[in-house]
Amino acid sequence: MTFRPTTSHWGAFSADIGADGRLQVAADPDDPSPSPLLGNLPDSLRHPTRVTAPAVRRGWLEHGPGPDSSRGNDEFVELGWDEALDLLAAELRRVRDDHGNKAVFGGSYGWASAGRFHHAQSQLRRFLNLFGGFTSSRHTYSNGTSAVVLPHIVGSADDVFRNGSSWPTIVKNTELLVAFGGVPEKNVFVTPGGVSRHHTPGFLARLAERDVDIALISPLRDDFPAAGAVQWYPIRPATDTALMLGLAHTLVVEDLHDRSFLDRYCAGYDEFEQYLLGMEDGVPKDAEWASHITEIPVGEIVSLARKMASSRTFITVTWSLQRIEHGEQPVWTAIALAAMLGQIGLPGGGFGHGYGSMGDSGDIGPDFHVPFLSQGVNPVDEFIPVARIADMLLNPGGCYDFDGAVRTFPDIRLVYWAGGNPFHHHQDLNKLRNAFARPDTVVVHEPYWTATARHADFVLPATTPLEREDFGSGRRDTHLVAMHQVAQPYGQARSDHVILAGLAERLGFGERFTEGRSPRAWLEHLYGSWRKNLAAAGVAAPSFAEFWSSGSYPLPSEEPDRTLFETFRQDPEANRLHTPSGKIEITSAVIKSFGYEDCLGHPAWLEPVEWLGGARAENFPLQLIANQPRTRLHSQLDVGSVSQFGKVAGREAIRIHPADAASRGIEDGDVVRVFNDRGACLAGAVVTSALRPGVVQLPTGAWFDPHGSLCVHGNPNVLTADRPTSRLSQGCAGQLVLVELERFDGTPPPVTVGSPPDVIKR
């Protein structure tokens, strides 16, 4: 067998098709901790849920474009490529001529696959830009709330996301790591675009060897690896901000805060201190107040605050903590708390965001620009914050706030998606189904019959990276990896590029889209221009032929020690932050001027709807944590064997505390119905004390399998609220939701998403 090199969001590997026709994969031998997710590839490559040929929804074929609530329940008719592309080109032309380019939504959010040239969204945006433009989307479901608030607080979100303190610096210098949301090891195996060497598991092991004190603040014990000096604070979900305020209050009243740091490097501390002391609202945010909200004992809060003040302390906040109502607050309060400790910019001190949310946070690879395809410029300036998709489709002309502006939703007639799965990633999927009934036409490129494909009018079969040539590399990756073709395209699948080139040809801009190059010629061209730029900077990269045959190019490495805001600390006048004051804004006059009741001018505890201390918990007394799965990336390759092995009774596994299981007569392995007033899903119970009572955990990504408003497979987004984080950032708040749970007696409906939908062959 000839194993050929390639890469994925979860790591570099090589692969070949065996004599039995089955894919075999081998992790890169130089990867210190390869990802278990590689095991999802063999069973997925030729799975019956692959889309074999272009398919058009029967209702659309028979009645033409228009709103249609049978989307998601209709049959499909297989067409030849020419017929499908002719029909779609005519429809794109109709929408543009009758309603303008603004009526095309091409936000197309999603992770797609590794590979710089065949990156689905880049290809689609390049195509739509040449088509005359489209309504786009801004920010991400991952960290879209922080992306809006961080520029107000520290002048840049990118600095925090890309240049956070490195693991070697933390391992060497930190004495106490206070991890809000922990550092969940399952997520560090993944970085968009690739991670050739998984270093983070090794750094986590070294923290344990060095006996660094870890304060794990999470309802889930396994949000930090078991080894080492870990103290678990099983906090009530959604209350981290209250705990941080209680810690901050303790620092003030015990005079443990660093006044000189606050004076020199921060703006607006005094107003925040008045809030802490209760001068604004008569409520001091002291440890007792915090204990009442968080259910962490008063004594533990006070002693943690003292220990933070007497140690080199690094405070981290996972991205999941901003994926909740008022998600700005935990991030902003953590920065205020770190500022009060006065250690921002010191090695091993200060704060970080996203450690354990993704492989690249704190990683030691270089922040290096690798070759990429130009998307061109969008002539249309209309956009939505990414998580407002359902609201946009349901309320054309409706007004909403966003980062100080009042905006209007456009009237969308055609939705075009490539490389994402909104029926995985969006909240309140029953609402999303109604929203997807509104446009005239929905187009999806997909390798698999995902729920999104099943809700489309045009389903165009896309290749997977193993079926095409490319090169790949992620942020802070150590290598640019040559991605050789390993298998023939499945059925009639084509790459997104070739599909769009066919459409562009029909729409009169084929030559401008392809620039006359084949996909292989594009790879050589992009690599060649990149190599030239490197040579100008004094770096000699190999020729394309050498790179391709060697399988990878090790990117020039950089100094592994890195401390966020080190230069700002050294000279805050010369290295002003890009905030109005040039300093860390503990109070932001700009945010205050917006007058939002759900994001004030300084960090604050704002009671959410979905939490155990609120009125809604009387009807739905369990807090469901809908976090990232351990057995797959998002919804990708859910049919693969690692993902399937994790299912319980054929459904996604939901974890429940023994006390909550006992009071409901639930035993390990039972099928349970999880429900609230938005919908319900079936899941398989795992009874465990690895989470605190009152909390259940059901990861995202089981392929949505609706039978009426019940998802029989266990997708938590049928339960989550499509409620924005706040008027400021309009981010995704899907992480937490209140639910109730009961044993499902009788024969549960079968899971059907493992088979393709009905497709009429012509």
Cβ atoms of 149 and 331 within 8 Å: the answer is yes
CA dist., res. 432 & res. 417, Å (int):
15
In angstroms, what is the minimal distance from the CB of 719 to ligand PGD?
Answer: 9
Q: Is 120 in the site for ligand PGD (CB under 6 A)?
A: yes
Structure tokens given for 657: 């505390």
Q: H-helix or E-strand containing 122? A: helix 120-131
Reported residue count of the chain is 762
Give strand pairing partners of 743. Answer: 672
- Count of residues interacting with ligand PGD (CB under 6 A): 36
Among 11, 42, 54, 110, binds ligand PGD (CB under 6 A): 110
48 phi and psi angles, rounded to 5 deg: -60, -15
Among 735, 739, 744, 756, binds ligand PGD (CB under 6 A): 735
111 belongs to the catalytic site: yes
Cβ atoms of 323 and 734 within 8 Å: the answer is yes
Which is closer to ligand PGD, CB of 33 or CB of 357? 357
Tokens 């205020």 correspond to what residue?
336
From the list 10, 109, 141, 416, the catalytic residue is: 109
Longest dimension (CA), the chain: 78
Footprint on residues 498-517 left by ligand PGD (CB under 6 A) = none
In angstroms, what is the minimal distance from the CB of 504 to ligand PGD?
Answer: 16
Which is closer to ligand PGD, CB of 145 or CB of 514? 145
CA dist., res. 378 & res. 136, Å (int):
9
Cβ atoms of 703 and 638 within 8 Å: the answer is yes
Cβ atoms of 668 and 632 within 8 Å: the answer is no
Footprint on residues 623-642 left by ligand PGD (CB under 6 A) = 626-628, 633-636
Q: Is 129 in the site for ligand PGD (CB under 6 A)?
A: no
CA dist., res. 266 & res. 101, Å (int):
45
Among 385, 734, 756, 757, binds ligand PGD (CB under 6 A): 734
- Nearest 5°: the CA angle 296, 209, 367 is 90
For 649, left (φ over 0), alpha (ψ -120 to 50), or beta? left
**Per-residue x/- marks for ligand PGD, 220-249, CB under 6 A?**
------------------------------
Q: H-helix or E-strand containing 180? A: strand 176-180
Which is closer to ligand PGD, CB of 291 or CB of 450? 450
Residues 368, 370, 376, 378, Cα dihedral to 10°: -50
Stretch of 165-173, 414-422, 611-619, 678-686 contacting ligand PGD, by CB under 6 A = 414-422
In angstroms, what is the minimal distance from the CB of 437 to ligand PGD?
Answer: 20
141 belongs to the catalytic site: no
**Per-residue x/- marks for ligand PGD, 433-472, CB under 6 A?**
------------xxxx-x-----------x----------
In angstroms, what is the minimal distance from the CB of 635 to ligand PGD?
Answer: 3
Cβ atoms of 698 and 626 within 8 Å: the answer is yes
Which is closer to ligand PGD, CB of 153 or CB of 626? 626
644 phi and psi angles, rounded to 5 deg: -65, -35
Among 323, 484, 494, 602, binds ligand PGD (CB under 6 A): 323
- Nearest 5°: the CA angle 132, 136, 140 is 155
In angstroms, what is the minimal distance from the CB of 424 to ligand PGD?
Answer: 5
Which is closer to ligand PGD, CB of 265 or CB of 355? 355
Name the residue whose CB lies closest to ligand PGD.
734
Using CB under 6 A as the criterion, which residues of the chain lie in contact with ligand PGD when the complex forms? 110-113, 118, 120, 141-142, 320, 323, 418-421, 424-425, 445-448, 450, 462, 496, 626-628, 633-636, 700, 716-717, 720, 734-735
Q: Would you please indicate which residues are annotated as catalytic (active-site) residues?
A: 109, 111
